[in-house]
Amino acid sequence: MASSPAQTLIEAFNHAVESASPTNCFRPHLDELLTGGALVLGAGKAAALMAAEAASRAKGPMRGLVVTRYGHGLKPWESAGSIEVIEAGHPLPDSAGVEAGKRMLDLASSIQKSEKLYFIVSGGGSALCTAPLSGVSLDQKRAASGFLMRNGADISEINCVRRHLSSIKGGRLAAAAHPAQVVTLAISDVPGDNLCDIASGPTVPDPTSQVNALAILEKYGFQDLDALRPVLTDPKNETPKPGDPAFAQDEARIIADSGSAIGSAQAYLRKHGFDVIHLGSSLMGDARLLGQKHARLAKEHSASGRRTALISGGETTVVVGEDCGRGGRNLEYLASLALELDGADRIWALSADTDGIDGSSDAAGAWIGPEHLSSPGLASSLDTCLRQSDTHRFFESCGTLIKTGPTRTNVNDFRLILIEARA
């Protein structure tokens, strides 16, 4: 049993991450679905570990290719059999990701009648598996994605644009393999678990349109839109849509998501005597505003005197300048929450990304307690760091950063506020 609020926070986070590991969430589906010949393609931060699990349970001939983020590949003692594992750039795509996308399209086009295509996917796949449409350069895709990230676009908006600049996303990978059956197994990192947004949906039809993509770029004032307009207005570049009969025999499953990870943490917290209040597993919006809102909720619940946990997941957004420091949305949420709490006693909080990386930080996130804002000087220091988008510096000075390294899964952000009982 954890002996301090800080340990309880970290243990609850660990339970959430472990529940979403392919080692735990992937195996039951493999035993049911892996039959006959299989072409396995995949992308995302969990792709290497998913490929290893698939190879260990193959029931027939298996071949394939998956791409994951640098540093998220196989360990020396792991094997993916005949599934090749390569690494590429994230959060912005690089040439290795372009090559991976092209090779996946070629493999899908070469699928044999005796094979079924299994697409194993998790968060991060949009950047890792990229194949720009004819007329779009890698630099243009990087510029559009990076601009939207910096200016507070949510993941659905970013991925809508990505789909319409890609020859593999938005159902195009599945289209290359049809009429072969396609089975998609996904670890979801997107609020709402929309399959079209997990890695931008390479194997599922796209409910959005070129018109939507153009409107998003116009909404945020993307300065190089005119260069992309010919591609985004050419009807031949539109993605496959729901109802397309080519997808009729395909299957897609969410095998882990924010809700299932939070459920695991809830069970742990209840076992240790907390009244758990689930605020939602798909929360979005500005990280700082959500931090302030949750701090006010924590103060309200603190007045009851009961031992309470407020838990949530999802993906917030941040807006940063060109000269920002180190940090990410979880650290910004936590900084804003801490400032709003203003040293309130009996309240501790944690915010971290389940993939082990929060924005430009080398940490998954951090935790904080009343002692970390015990003087006006500390609060002033945190406020300065928050305004400079340099929150990593403050939490590093407190010694409360959470550094897991790559977890090789991703069900997005995990947020937990603990309120200890009044003595």
Looking at the structure, tell me whether residues 185 and 42 fall in a common domain. yes
For residue 29, the model assigns a pLDDT of 85
pTM of the full predicted structure? Answer: 0.91
From the number of C-beta atoms within 10 Å of its C-beta (0-12, 13-18, 19+), residue 177 rates as buried
For residue 322, the model assigns a pLDDT of 61
Question: Of 256, 272, 293, which residue sits at a domain end?
Answer: 256
Looking at the structure, tell me whether residues 153 and 290 fall in a common domain. no
Contact between 317 and 328 under an 8 Å Cβ cutoff? The reply is no
In the predicted structure, residue 36 carries a pLDDT above the cut 90: no
Average pLDDT over residues 277-287: 94
When divided into structural domains, the chain yields a total of 2
Query: Any idea what the CATH number is for the domain that residue 263 is in?
Result: 3.40.1480.10
Which residues are CB-neighbours of 132 under 8 A, at least 6 positions away?
A: 98, 138, 140, 141, 165, 166, 167
Instruction: Kindly write down the DSSP assignment for every residue of 64-80, as one continuous string.
Output: EEEEEETT-S--TT---
Q: Give me the residues paired with residue 119 across strands.
A: 41, 184
Q: CA 160 to CA 156: how far, in whole Å?
A: 6
Looking at the structure, tell me whether residues 311 and 395 fall in a common domain. yes
For residue 323, the model assigns a pLDDT of 60
Question: Of 227, 256, 285, which residue sits at a domain end?
Answer: 256
Q: CA 423 to CA 411: how far, in whole Å?
A: 36
Q: Give me the residues paired with residue 87 across strands.
A: 68
Q: What are the tokens at 100?
A: 């991976």
Ramachandran angles phi, psi of 359, nearest 5°? 60, -130
Average pLDDT over residues 113-129: 93
3-state helix, strand, coil in the chain (%, to 5): 45, 20, 40
* H or E segment and range at residue 53: helix 47-56
Residue-number span of the structural domain to which 177 is assigned: 21-256
Residue among 395, 283, 279, 377 at smallest CA distance from 336 = 395
pLDDT tens-digit readout, 330-345:
999 999 999 999 889 9
Looking at the structure, tell me whether residues 301 and 273 fall in a common domain. yes
Average pLDDT over residues 110-136: 94
For residue 372, the model assigns a pLDDT of 86
Looking at the structure, tell me whether residues 76 and 170 fall in a common domain. yes
For residue 1, the model assigns a pLDDT of 44
Strand 182-187 relative to strand 251-256, pairing: parallel
Looking at the structure, tell me whether residues 394 and 405 fall in a common domain. yes
Strand 365-368 relative to strand 115-121, pairing: unpaired
Looking at the structure, tell me whether residues 239 and 290 fall in a common domain. no
Q: CA 139 to CA 28: how far, in whole Å?
A: 40
Between 2 and 274, residue with greater pLDDT = 274
Looking at the structure, tell me whether residues 322 and 220 fall in a common domain. no
Average pLDDT over residues 17-29: 91
Q: CA 398 to CA 420: how far, in whole Å?
A: 21
Which residue in the block uniquely carries the two structure tokens 């090749």?
84
Question: Of 256, 283, 300, which residue sits at a domain end?
Answer: 256
Handedness of CA 261, 34, 68, 150 (dihedral sign): negative
Looking at the structure, tell me whether residues 113 and 221 fall in a common domain. yes
The radius of gyration of the chain from alpha carbons, rounded to an integer in Å, stands at: 22
